[in-house]
Amino acid sequence: MVSKPYSNPAIVTTTKYFFANPNSIGNCVFPRFKSSLKDAQERGMPAATAALVATAVFAALHRWRDGKLDTDVEFSGSVLRTTYNNHLEDIK
């Protein structure tokens, strides 16, 4: 059993891209992040954001599941809702 599955290099790298430059989505929404600890000043990534990153990594790997890029796989809520919800449940 993996004790820190959300520390996988693919997830860490994807998270870094989320904050890659001042105009990246992560930096645009960062002021809205709150600490998960009472009375703490540092901000933490919301579980929903971490679940989205993990879902994006899953989707990218899934597109290559047969060893070649499947361009018909859609990244959308209707297709990946279950995957996202499973990650969200694991994180919480």
Supply the mean pLDDT for the chain. 88
Q: Select from 73, 56, 65 the least CA-distant residue to 14.
A: 56
> Per-residue pLDDT tens for 7-36?
899 999 999 998 899 998 888 888 888 887
pLDDT at residue 83 in the model:
95
**What does pTM read for this prediction?**
0.78
Domain boundaries, the chain: 5-27+46-91
CA distance 35 to 41: 7
Long-range Cβ pairs for the range 81-87 (8 Å, 24+) = 83/55, 83/58, 83/59, 84/51, 84/52, 84/55, 85/51, 87/50, 87/51, 87/54, 87/55, 87/58
> Per-residue pLDDT tens for 37-71?
787 788 888 888 899 999 999 999 999 999 999 98
